[in-house]
Amino acid sequence: MSFKKEFVWGAATASYQIEGAWNEDGKGMNIWDEFTHQPGKISDKSTGDIACDHYHHYKEDVKMMADLGLKAYRFSISWARVIPEGTGKVNPEGIKFYNNLIDELLKYNITPFVTLYHWDLPYALHLKGGWLNPESAEWFKEYTTVIAENFGDRVKNFITFNEPMVFMGCGYMLGEHAPGIKYGDRDLLRIGHNILMAHGKAVSVLREKSENCKIGITLATQPKIPVTKNDVEDAYNNYFYSGLGGFFWGVQYWMDPIMFGDYAPNLLKEAGDLFPEYTKEDMAIISQKIDFLGLNIYEAQYQGDYKRPRGTAHSELLWDTYPDALYWGVTHNYKRYKLPIYITENGISCHDWVSLDGKVHDPNRIDFLHRYLRGLKKAADEGVDVSGYFQWSLMDNFEWAKGYNPRFGMIFCDYTTLERIPKDSAYWYKTVIESNGENL
């Protein structure tokens, strides 16, 4: 069997990771611009100043998407490119760039999926306290209004936040990502509530200003894979438990307030007076209806009696592979939240290079994707509402604190010449799209 007829096949990117043009045409500075210019923050001492230079190569990149048969493209908008100071004056050149990109996509019948926030907070707002400032939800509402008014006539699929658990955990707890802060639980709980309020206010704006749009949020997750049938219930229960220690890493912390209108009782009890005060009105804003859930899945965890074998398959980043990760990720989340699910990121970093024949051969990536997609197809066959799949990533790019060494792309990017070369996996993915997954 193939996936449902309207299944969406695409690829994903993020603004800071590919755009470059970090200080061109009126763009403001964001926290990653500042962070990468500090010594010792990025493993290869690089920045996203140029990245893939998508800002100047977007037409070439969209043509490649069309040639590879992509039906949709998930990209994020740089907040500081459209509103340099985060609030106030709008940058017409930033609006022009995204208008041109959207129009180019539509010219090739590629559906745009817009992520409002993929980690690049305007630096001017960071100086005002960033997500710790209770006004941050209003800042995000103002930004979303600009996006909806300028692009909502053509963009009908929106994601409010990408992986809030990761930009919060790595950026505000571990200090490994921008802005490089190490907060404790009291402040982290405030940040989480402000982000959820921002999400809710963005939903309200999009409903008002982009007619018939679909709205979701994207979460990073490591699903619990039961080792035996006897472990299925424990896998589900443990997967959806968010305790005070690392509460923000879990899906439950973010989705339960959105779907059920309040935080998990066990977390409220454990946090006690660390938890910020909130009102019924707050929860009404947060729990507005959304249309889908986006899941970014790379790794997983086993539930039950499991010992990692020596020599387990792993990626260039030393991430283990889990062929059942997509199956259990969508199965667990659909059971709990009953929302259509998009896999908004899934992929693998491999040791890719241009071979003597001028091509990029990546059989490991093809095998990885084939195995993961089989699991996704199995879940769809069993009745899970799987609406689409976005491979991470369209092209090799700036991989945050790891710099340019990890290569996740289906398109190879030579960072010196900026030449793009589709890898073998890109052509394989084209055949998957053409058969709507029937050839898996």
Instruction: Tell me the catalytic residues.
Output: 163, 345
DSSP character string of 281-346: HHHHHHT---SEEEEE-S--EEESS--PPTT--B-TT-PBP-TTHHHHHHHHHHHHH---EEEEE-
**Strand partners of residue 296:** 220, 345
- Structure tokens belonging to residue 419: 């030449």
Q: Which helix (H) or strand (E) segment is 367 a member of?
A: helix 363-381
DSSP character string of 26-60: TPPPBHHHHHHTSTTSSTTS--SSSTT-HHHHHHH
Closest CA to 418 of 25, 1, 58, 3: 58
- Structure tokens belonging to residue 145: 């209004």
d(CA 13, CA 52): 11
d(CA 222, CA 250): 9
Which of 310-343 are b and which e, b meaning 16 or more Cβ less than 10 Å from the residue's Cβ?
Answer: eeeeebbeeeebbbbbbbbbbbbbbebbebbbbb
Closest CA to 373 of 312, 318, 433: 433
d(CA 431, CA 424): 11
Cβ-count burial of 419 within 10 angstroms (0-12 exposed, 13-18 middle, 19+ buried)? exposed
Any alpha helices (H) in 91-163, and if so which ranges? 92-107, 123-126, 136-151
- Structure tokens belonging to residue 195: 């982000």
